[in-house]
Amino acid sequence: MPAPPRVMPYNDFVNPDDKALRAIDAAVAEVSRLSGPVTLEEAYLRAVERVEAMPDNQSGADKTWVWEAIERDRRHFARARRR
Amino acid sequence: MDPFSALTRALTESGARFVVIGAWGANYYAQAGSVVFETRDRDLFLPPDPGNLLRAWSACETVGFSLWAESDPLDIPRDRWLAEQIVERKALVRATDGRGLDVDLTLVMAGFDFETVWRERRTFVADGVEVPVARLRHIVESKAAAGRVKDRLFLATHAEALRDLLGREQ
């Protein structure tokens, strides 16, 4: 029998009670159990270098849009109210 | 102009050397539609140079930021002697606008010396202001060297974001 699909905890994050906070706590607890030095995988470092090499990540690139996007998100979530 | 842009402009105009590091620095490499990181504070890496530190402190005050060392206001007078003590102890000074923006002026970046990071920096533009930012590779390698819980969480999230981004492009 094939293994069941991996279920992402999406519903935990959208449930309007405190499950979202518990999911975050669980993620932190899982990482907290790890110890010892962090080793970065070669594939990740190659991905980082590909991102660095992108034309819009060279000196002189205008990144104002990043801050505008973050500000839009902040304003959106600041207005959020629990029903 | 937002307070962080005002601060970076004042720092640059003062002649102070600094680079943006940490999760905030990684945001400058974000691509449209990819993950950006919200972080409570922003980190600026400065060289262990008392003169540079004095210029940075003065620039912060010029644009209305107050300076703190741990939970106390930074001692006065903010003179060369004090800057030398801060450099000797590699102590952190925090600049805050009192409205939720905290900027850490750090002399330490795990695994790196300032000159290496400075030499390979990128200079991006935000809000019309040039902002020196550490290489993304330096940022992630420093996170790995620091190895705190928040660094591990950042690396896990960032790796997944890059996988998604580069996967979409292929």
How many structural domains does chain B have? Answer: 1
How far off is chain B from A82, nearest CA to CA, in Å? 22
Whether A54 is in a domain gets the answer: yes
Contact call for residues B54 and B83 (beta carbons, < 8 A): yes
Number of domains in chain A: 1
- In this structure, is residue A2 part of a structural domain? no
Please give the residue range of the domain that contains residue B67. Answer: 3-169
What is chain A written as a DSSP string?
-PPPPPPPTHHHHHSSSTHHHHHHHHHHHHHHT--S-----HHHHHHHHHHHTSGGGSTT-B-HHHHHHHHHHHHHHHH----
The closest CB to that of B29, out of A44, A51, A74, belongs to A51
Please report, for the domain that includes residue B109, its CATH number: 3.30.460
ipTM: 0.87
Nearest CA in chain B to A63: B126
A51 located within any domain: yes
How many A/B residue pairs have CB atoms within 8 Å?
94
Q: What is the pLDDT of residues B30-76, one digit of tens each?
A: 876 567 787 778 999 999 999 999 999 999 999 999 999 988 999 99
pTM: predicted TM-score of the whole model, two decimal places = 0.85
Q: Which domain holds residue A69?
A: 10-79
| Average pLDDT over all residues of chain B | 93
